[in-house]
Structure 1
């Protein structure tokens, strides 16, 4: 329900920015113009024009002190720009600025979920043409993902086809076959995702592109049911809720990074350099693998079930290392000297 309003807000902001950029040269060419006349020419109300003029007071050059900001004088209902802060001059980009802008636009053009990639590419072409040799450096932009997989997913989403995918679910450490009806491609936290209606789960799900092992485009169109709604990802992909398991860990200095990487409900000082960290997890199987991967500076405080699972898995791993490996069958010919060569080298390819 809030998405159309958000798009409308973005459109209104863009319209206002364009109006402000046009307002300064317009007023410079008409010193002392009446506000009512200017409002009529610009197609806005007098109230809106006065709000725009109030915003111009705080616009200007970096430093934003006296002599940096746009200034104007009012005489009753007339307005005159007395200092334009250089906004009437054509934009001149330094080589570094031009290159940074080109790289940013190239990255945007490659980002999944961009709805109007053609507009980005047109803007990029214009800037490259205007900048000329300034952006001639051999720069290639690639997203941190499987480019071919992302492109195939993007093609399927744009084409409105259903997909059959082989997907690895890290939370359960399992691979499943699913048929999905794509909604959109998007980039969250530097990772590419396809958001789709999953026919197996009968719900909208997010699938990480790098965890999709195989993709088959079906001959049938995507059939997204009316009740399917995209997720609100403004706060990230994982959104902790009270119904998820809560785990508490005692972490040393070397593992404090998890408090910055994962959403934590509580972080408290413990003994010495240790912290007590509480966070929600999707399930305890994921938490078990998570804790085992952290190392010896982490201890499970609660729940007891998680501590027992970690202990059992670690004990089984140690037992496996303690058992001697089965003796390998040897080929007597492998030990025979090889004329003109090292026996070890000759035995290697065998």
Structure 2
């Protein structure tokens, strides 16, 4: 899956802070630290080298020791202030309070005592620092799990025990699974249980709001080696492969969806390959990006979306003159 620009930005900002604390680090060590290839580290450094503060003259840019770089060692010589502690403005502080309250609402029943304590402490400190503005923040999220399911998952994770769950998939089919729970994952507005599914013999993400029932079993959960990328939702190979050709302003599609491949074209447009499990999701996506859609393959998908759009317009009735 292609890397999102937001993920790369966070890594590069972290890389600047890391290099500021560790002067002269071999490329291979940086790659290991950030979980990427040495080639990606070099690409990130090359991008940082032409990044800086407004003015963008040579002395405004982040800088590295060129001699060390040629020897495979990265040494930061000018950070342009990116390593200074950041101070939150009022808007940022309120947004952080809202995010922490949303996390408490969504994950509270699923956290162990230590995690819950850390979350409460962080929320109290940020709320106090924000002042009166925090009082206006009221976050209400729909529950992602029944209390029984949430408590059972939390118990299994805390005691490192195997779970039996009753789960409904995207095709509205229910099945019983025995899983070894690994950790909870939040992706956008959803909460997932990352677990090793014993029937599939592999790691799977289970949407917590689709777990109808859960039972902690007597067997201890086995330890499984799971890559970090397993915590990111990615449709399986059973989904239909759909290719979208989009104009440049539609770049957000590639940045916000689980894409299999992205191909930039000479005219500034691009193609993105998506593995689609739910056709309704794709129709919604295409209607959102309609102004930037240049082509869709297979053509049948475009026609289906067009029919949905025409039906929606017809529902409004004839326009008034």
Interval of TM-score (by shorter of Structure 1 and Structure 2): 0.3 to 0.5
User: Looking at both structures, which has the greater relative contact order when contacts are Cα pairs under 8 Å and sequence separation is at least 6?
Assistant: 2
State the TM-score, normalizing by the size of structure 1: 0.44
Greater gyration radius: 1
